[in-house]
Structure 1
């Protein structure tokens, strides 16, 4: 008659119990931290800051028969912070002003801070050196001179950072500006409607 051998039942290793206990503690900490961040987010309701062209003006245009163009512009960039409970820092702000695809000026800004629920203006005076134009650009410039309006394009990026509370960490975004500006040659102030995005 076959015999059945009974082996003694092995008890779980103490190290396994310790590892399971530590994993449980870590899981609880992660869940609690997630709840705190979520509640803080709902309480503060952070909003992405804005950076856009508020106003622009073409003050002077010099164009000669050799195809050299010089311009003088005033451009006002506005930074807005609609957060009720957080200051916002702007840094790595660099914009490029173009005329028919030609880069004529770089607009940069030192890091600056916008207090909660306020705005700040960056005023740029752009005086370009003589810009040599190609044949196509010369033709388009002559057409613009006849119409009394000149086209400019401003594009660039800025980095933002602000804190959500004192212990919930910081939020960072890239802001992107793309702005087409048709500026009259009679020094009329224009308020462009520009596209802006963030990520």
Structure 2
């Protein structure tokens, strides 16, 4: 019986394989170094820019009209100024999907919206709303609450909503947040003056 034995040959294709392994290792090393360098650059940029979260707040308001009758119908008009503030001196901010609801004792009065806009560095932009409601039917309990408000010279409305905010922060790209605003607007119905209170958005 004839036995055929194949000799093991070193070099040749094996050498080429080793070369490919080395090239792959070099490429992976370069990629890893690039990732580390980019991370350091982003960190330094953030520390230099240090952006503040854009906020929305109610800076002023006035109860222009409050009228209720014996039929249980309520009419009101309220002027509201919502201020969008960008406290960062080195990054622009944009606001979009702006929507707020104004209600009284669970009764819807109006929905307040605005088109997208930008706020320059370290600046602010005011949204001026004049909300005039149609006749709102009240329940007996709500009618009693309005009468009590006149007697104690204080009435409150619920103001809730949100807006999308986005920074343009150079090498970092963009950072997005959701500004939620939820507070009570209190007035003196006798003269319509606004009772100042902290009403500033919280970001998420």
Given the two structures, how large is their TM-score scaled by the length of structure 2? 0.86
Contact 1:55 1:192 (8 Å CA) reproduced: no
Contact 1:58 1:74 (8 Å CA) reproduced: yes
Contact 1:90 1:161 (8 Å CA) reproduced: yes
2:73 corresponding residue in structure 1: 68
Find out whether 1:146 has 2:151 as its counterpart.
yes
CA shift for structure 1 position 94: 0.6
1:39 corresponding residue in structure 2: 44
Q: Distance in 1 between matches of 2:142 and 2:194?
A: 24
1:104 corresponding residue in structure 2: 109
Q: 1:156 aligns with which of 153, 161, 165?
A: 161
CA shift for structure 1 position 59: 0.9
Contact 2:56 2:200 (8 Å CA) reproduced: no
User: Residues 136-164 of structure 1: CA distance to partner in whole angstroms, max 9, x if unpaired?
Assistant: 21221221122222110101101111211
User: Residues 160-187 of structure 1: CA distance to partner in whole angstroms, max 9, x if unpaired?
Assistant: 112112x321111111111112111112
For 1:106-121, what aligned pairs fall within 5 Å after superposition? 106-121=111-126
Q: Distance in 2 between matches of 1:16 and 1:134?
A: 80
CA shift for structure 1 position 49: 1.1
CA shift for structure 1 position 195: 4.7
Q: 2:188 aligns with which of 176, 179, 184?
A: 184
| Aligned-residue RMSD, C-alpha | 1.9
Q: Distance in 1 between matches of 2:154 and 2:82?
A: 21
Matched residue SS, 1:120: strand
Given the two structures, how large is their TM-score scaled by the length of structure 1? 0.88
2:132 corresponding residue in structure 1: 127
Q: Unaligned 5+ residue runs, structure 2?
A: 1-7
* Structure of higher CA gyration radius: 2
Q: Unaligned 5+ residue runs, structure 1?
A: 1-6
User: Residues 68-89 of structure 1: CA distance to partner in whole angstroms, max 9, x if unpaired?
Assistant: 1110000111111111111211
Q: Distance in 2 between matches of 1:178 and 1:17?
A: 60
Count of aligned residue pairs for this structure pair: 192
